Amino acid sequence: MAVLDPTLTIRQATQDFFRNFATPDETGADVLAGAPSDSSTTTAPDVCGRDFRELVHPSVRQPLMRQFERLLSGRCDRFSAHVVALRSEGDAFTGNLTATAVSGYAPDPAAVLVLMRPGQSAEGDAVVAPRKKLLSEIDARILEGIAAGLSTIPLASRLYLSRQGVEYHVTGLLRKLKVPNRAALVSRAYAMGVLTVGTWPPRVVEGFIK
């Protein structure tokens, strides 16, 4: 759990939150271990003061920020969302986020209480990839087309490739993401954070393109 101010800067957090996001402090106490209670609230220089946006994978950042905007403008009091988050080492993991507005004396929320429940990590079936360049430009465009529902012939026409050329790249994508068919390819790409969530037509996150 973490407390954010209205600019989404992290002000306080529990030990559970630190375990997911903090970097061990080499010059002081290790905030990742030895906590008196998982429910106690504490601070650490490498997490507190950071923008919460930095902890969210680019593939889900934009739609998540829209929900925070609704919360901070008073259009809702609470929301829940499935997110892809980033550990301090750059590893990604999935989880469920619940954000609740905390009222103050002013009409607008004084703070936001965020609860993160981590799901599967990169070792699970719904694996999400660290931010590294996985795809060539042409592979990215083909993946976007498949996610948009295009078959081989329209893809070939759009990308000025032969049908055999498209199939060659599709086979390479299936092998790279270790899936048996195109439907599974799209599902895995979203689970890995390669395809941006909440946008249409589908787009590959730039950080994954070589």
Classify residue 55: in a domain, yes or no.
Answer: yes
Residue 148 pLDDT > 70 = yes
Rounded to whole angstroms, how far apart are CA atoms 97 and 80? 6
Rank 35-44, 155-164, 193-202 by mean pLDDT and report only the highest.
155-164
What is the 3 state secondary structure string of the chain? CEEECCCCEEEEEEHHHHHHHCCCCCCCCCCCCCCCCCCCEECCCCCCCCEHHHHECHHHHHHHHHHHHHHHCCCCCEEEEEEEEECCCCCEEEEEEEEEEECCCCCCCCEEEEEEEECCCCCCCCCCCCCCCCECHHHHHHHHHHHCCCCHHHHHHHHCCCHHHHHHHHHHHHHHHCCCCHHHHHHHHHHHCCECCCCCCCCECHHHEC
Domain tally for the chain?
A: 2
Both 199 and 95 in one domain: the answer is no
Give the pLDDT of residue 88: 72
pLDDT band per the 50, 70, 90 thresholds, residue 59: low
Residue 160 pLDDT > 90 = yes
Helix 152-159 vs helix 163-177: crossing angle, to nearest 10: 110
Rank 45-54, 58-67, 174-183 by mean pLDDT and report only the highest.
174-183
* C-beta separation of 98 from 92 below 8 A: no
Classify residue 154: in a domain, yes or no.
Answer: yes
| Strand order through the sheet with 2-4 | 41-42, 10-14, 2-4, 111-118, 92-102, 78-86
Q: Strand ranges (DSSP E) for 103-157?
A: 111-118
Rank 77-91, 118-132, 144-158, 176-190 by mean pLDDT and report only the highest.
144-158
Q: Angle CA(162)–CA(164)–CA(167) in degrees, nearest 5?
A: 115
Query: Which position has the higher pLDDT, 19 or 92?
Result: 19
pLDDT in tens, 60-104: 787 889 999 999 998 999 999 878 787 776 666 777 899 999 987
Both 146 and 61 in one domain: the answer is no
Residue that is written with structure tokens 């996150």 in the block = 205
Both 175 and 102 in one domain: the answer is no
pLDDT band per the 50, 70, 90 thresholds, residue 131: low
pLDDT band per the 50, 70, 90 thresholds, residue 56: confident
Could you tell me the CATH number of the domain that includes residue 175?
A: 1.10.10.10
Both 108 and 15 in one domain: the answer is yes
Give the pLDDT of residue 122: 39
Both tokens of 153, joined, read 């012939």
Q: Is the dihedral of CA 62, 63, 64, 69 positive or negative?
A: positive
* C-beta separation of 77 from 101 below 8 A: yes
Rounded to whole angstroms, how far apart are CA atoms 2 and 55? 12
If you average pLDDT over every residue of the chain, what do you get? 79
Residue 154 is part of which domain span?
137-208
Both 67 and 36 in one domain: the answer is yes
Both 100 and 144 in one domain: the answer is no
Both 106 and 156 in one domain: the answer is no
Give the pLDDT of residue 38: 43
Both 153 and 101 in one domain: the answer is no
